[in-house]
């Protein structure tokens, strides 16, 4: 009897220890900036880590670029380095322009960019990709949310022409007739609009303005590109900087990836011409990317998105972030780690965590091509 009581006590203590560990895990911080959830990165880390192929990966892997994918990269790095503890991955997230510059200067193994390489950037990449060139590998998609901070207004609907006029300074107040027409019944304040844009070169800016150019050609007369061209407004560095500026300013509006549009910010529902306005979501982004066309040649998998889509549920302001890497001529010291990390990103496990952290996985028809290309990197 005494032995049985001791065994029962041991089992009880063991159960308490396990439940305590689980509680600590559930309450732990999430270094992606997103809240942990059942489908998020914290629960996926343990589930996916055992399936990651490390091969001969070791040492430090330096990368830089898109801040849009920074939260996704942080989640991927967490999982990857748990499985491949001989590798350190250092991704700065300084912006797409900075990433491409670092890549063409040969200071990083790969770069992240929300825009495909331009011809002159491909030419520059040949200087560091011995016998090869830089290629675009679509790895993560995400809606660019138009987030706002406007007391008393919870469900704001805007369309492309109205957005163009707001960010070009042509519509200055929240109670403007054009906004009121799209939001019947809303109590719009007589308050000045404070539009925020990126101060750094950014693929997020490039994709946002591509949407304005395509969907509101009569109201957005700028050429577009990574650098913001319209006059006026407030500026901030990185998606996190824009989000912070909007959060701190009543009457502010800005564009940023959905993963940054949290903590009290509202997100605009777009009137695209579909039956109902469409809010930024992972599902809406996936629908937009599924209809994209591959316009790259050879191993390059650059995509073209239809920013004027009226498909039900498709969210048109969707960017695709590319990992830019040499198809040939990668540095021997970092090639194993580069291939192992990109292989994980493109894997079913890597893509599987994206929806839980407000990104969208790349459709199967495209990501299978990415996987084949990664295996051929040399």
pLDDT tens per residue, range 43-79: 333 444 557 999 888 999 999 999 889 999 999 999 9
Per-residue pLDDT, averaged over 326-353, amounts to 97
At 362, is the secondary structure helix, strand, or coil? Answer: coil
Counting other chains too, the contacts that 13-17 makes at CB distance below 8 Å and 24 or more residues apart are none
**Which pLDDT band, with edges at 50, 70 and 90, does 223 fall under?**
very high
| Encoded tokens for 148 | 């706002």
What mean pLDDT value characterizes the chain?
Answer: 87
What pLDDT shows up at residue 50?
Answer: 58
Q: What is the spatial distance between Cα 360 and Cα 128, in angstroms, rounded to a whole number?
A: 31
Q: Quote the DSSP letter at residue 259.
A: G
Residue written as token pair 């509680």: 23
Please state at what angle helix 203-215 crosses helix 160-167, rounded to 10 degrees: 120
Summarize the confidence of residues 157-180 as an average pLDDT.
Answer: 98
Distances (CA, A) of 244 to 147, 206, 241, 248, 255: 11, 20, 5, 6, 12
pLDDT of residue 9: 41
- CA 361/CA 351 separation, integer angstroms: 5
Report the distance separating Cα 22 and Cα 40, nearest Å.
Answer: 16
- Max avg pLDDT among 50-54, 130-134, 306-310: 130-134
**232 exposed, middle or buried (CB, 10 Å; 0-12, 13-18, 19+)?**
exposed
Bridge partners of residue 60, in order along the sequence: 88
* Residue 67 token pair: 């801040």
Higher pLDDT, 137 or 16: 137
DSSP of 300-350:
---EE--TT---TT--SSEEEEEEEEESS---TTTHHHHHHHHHHHHSHHH
What letter does residue 67 receive in the DSSP assignment?
S
* 165 touches 178 (CB < 8 A): yes
Contact present, 12 and 328 (Cβ < 8 Å): no
Pair 366, 342: CB distance under 8 Å: no
Which of 174-178, 179-183, 282-286, 335-339 shows the lowest mean pLDDT across its residues? 282-286
14 or 308: whose pLDDT is higher?
308
Q: Label residue 199 exposed, middle or buried (CB < 10 Å: 0-12, 13-18, 19+).
A: middle
CA dihedral of residues 212, 215, 217, 220 (deg, nearest 10): -20
DSSP H or E run through 62:
strand 59-65
Is residue 377 within 8 A of residue 330, CB to CB? The reply is yes
pTM attached to this predicted model: 0.74
As a whole number of Å, the end-to-end CA separation of the chain is: 67
Tokens 């890549």, residue located: 103
| Tally of CA atoms within 13 A in the half-sphere of 146 that contains its CB | 28
Please give the pLDDT value at position 352: 95
- Phi and psi, residue 102, nearest 5°: -60, -40
Least confident segment among 15-24, 124-133, 342-351, 356-365? 15-24
Looking at residue 42, its pLDDT comes to 36
CB burial of residue 225 (10 Å; 0-12, 13-18, 19+): middle
Instruction: Write the CB contacts of 371 (distance below 8 Å, at least 6 apart in sequence).
Output: 343, 346, 347
Which of 228, 227, 256, 224 lies closest to 243 in space, CA to CA?
A: 256
Pair type for strands 87-91 and 59-65: parallel
Task: Record the tokens describing residue 31, joined without a space.
Answer: 């270094």
Low-confidence winner among 12-26, 140-154, 275-289, 297-311 (lowest mean pLDDT): 12-26
What's the pLDDT at 55?
85
- How far apart are the C-alpha atoms of 42 and 270, rounded to whole Å? 31
């Amino acid at each position: 009897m005494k032995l049985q009581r001791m065994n029962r006590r041991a089992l009880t203590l063991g159960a308490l220890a396990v439940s305590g560990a689980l509680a600590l895990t559930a309450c732990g911080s999430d270094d992606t900036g997103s809240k942990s959830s059942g489908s998020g990165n914290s629960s996926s880390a343990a589930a996916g880590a055992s399936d990651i192929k490390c091969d001969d990966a070791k040492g430090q892997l330096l990368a830089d670029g898109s801040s849009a994918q920074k939260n996704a990269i942080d989640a991927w790095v967490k999982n990857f380095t748990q499985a491949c503890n001989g590798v350190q991955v250092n991704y700065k997230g300084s912006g797409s322009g900075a990433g491409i510059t670092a890549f063409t200067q040969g200071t990083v193994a790969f770069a992240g960019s929300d825009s495909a390489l331009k011809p002159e950037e491909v030419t520059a990449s040949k200087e560091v990709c011995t016998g090869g060139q830089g290629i675009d590998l679509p790895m993560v998609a995400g809606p660019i949310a138009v987030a706002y901070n406007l007391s008393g207004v919870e469900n704001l609907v805007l369309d492309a022409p109205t957005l163009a006029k707001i960010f070009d300074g042509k519509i200055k107040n929240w109670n403007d007739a054009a906004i009121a027409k799209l939001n019947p019944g809303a109590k719009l304040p007589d308050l000045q609009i404070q539009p925020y844009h990126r101060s750094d070169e950014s693929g997020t800016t490039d994709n946002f303005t591509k949407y304005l150019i395509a969907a509101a050609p009569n109201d957005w007369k700028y050429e577009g590109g990574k650098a913001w061209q319209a006059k006026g407004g407030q500026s901030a560095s990185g998606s996190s900087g824009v989000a912070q500026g909007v959060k701190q300013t009543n009457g502010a509006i800005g564009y940023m990836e959905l993963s940054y549009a949290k903590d009290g910010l509202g997100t605009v529902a777009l009137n695209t011409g579909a039956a109902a306005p469409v809010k930024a979501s992972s599902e809406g982004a996936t629908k937009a990317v599924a209809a994209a066309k591959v316009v790259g040649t050879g191993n390059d998998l650059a995509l073209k998105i239809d920013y004027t889509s009226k498909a039900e549920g498709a969210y048109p302001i969707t960017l695709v972030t590319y990992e830019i890497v040499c198809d040939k001529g990668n540095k021997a010291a970092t090639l194993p780690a580069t291939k192992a990390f990109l292989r994980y990103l493109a894997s079913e496990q890597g893509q599987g965590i994206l929806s839980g952290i407000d990104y969208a996985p790349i459709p199967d028809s495209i990501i299978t091509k990415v996987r084949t290309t990664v295996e051929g990197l040399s």
